[in-house]
Amino acid sequence: AQSVTQLGSHVSVSEGALVLLRCNYSSSVPPYLFWYVQYPNQGLQLLLKYTSAATLVKGINGFEAEFKKSETSFHLTKPSAHMSDAAEYFCAVHGSSNTGKLIFGQGTTLQVKP
Amino acid sequence: EPEVTQTPSHQVTQMGQEVILRCVPISNHLYFYWYRQILGQKVEFLVSFYNNEISEKSEIFDDQFSVERPDGSNFTLKIRSTKLEDSAMYFCASSTGLAGETQYFGPGTRLLVL
């Protein structure tokens, strides 16, 4: 069965510093992986996704993620944090190719300090 | 840009009452989903719906829950007799396809059961 683990429920960085949010997955089939962001009082917005094309995936707002099969990881990075990046970030994997069910990680709250 | 909408944004109800949460998916999407997020916990899959049928449901989605697409635009989640533990944020999502396709989420309905 597919699952996702996000290491670190809270990450705090200074403005301008590197952002690294960790996600490891478990999947018995080639995975489809997603990063979503949730700003306060809003729904989930797709940042980027991996669908077995390029292993380095670029998303919106300067975020990118690299799929590493050997490490079963899909970590999210951004070279320079901005105050507006403060939000909750969710990694997710498709649980089934037949129904599209998404299985989410626990989420990581990103705090950006001035 | 097309978006998924949900009403109401907040609902307070008494235990044992029926509630109906409404969603308008993106118009050309074919696959519809409900997820929920209990405060402080991860986003959990409830049900997926395609071609006027449930494709998959989680163990959370028991006989108290039902979904319906009553017309060409709305997608509803009904909870027949609410329990305290149904208090959560409920998200509707829609997509054009299954594996690898982006699911677009609505802003959510916050349900509080007293």
Quick one: pLDDT at residue A94? 86
Contact (CB, 8 A) for B22 and B7: yes
Residue A28 has pLDDT above 90, yes or no: no
Kindly state the tokens that stand for B101. Answer: 């396709």
Strands A108-113 vs B88-95: parallel, antiparallel or unpaired: unpaired
Amino acid (1-letter code) at residue B8: P
Beta bridge partners of B49: B32, B54
Is A100's CB within 8 Å of B48's CB? yes
- The mean pLDDT of A65-80, rounded to a whole number, is 95
Q: Which of A35, A99, A103 to mutate to test the interface with B (most CBs of B within 10 A)?
A: A99
- The answer to whether A3 contacts chain B (CB < 8 Å) is no
Residue B70 has pLDDT above 90, yes or no: no
Which has more confidence, A52 or A109? Answer: A109
Q: How far apart are CA B106 and CA A45, in angstroms?
A: 9
> Residue B58's pLDDT band (boundaries 50, 70, 90)?
very high
Contact (CB, 8 A) for A77 and A64: yes
Residues with Cβ within 8 Å of residue A41, at least 6 apart in sequence:
B107
Phi-psi region of B60 (alpha: psi -120 to 50; beta: other; left: phi over 0): alpha
Q: How far apart are CA A89 and CA A44, in angstroms?
A: 9
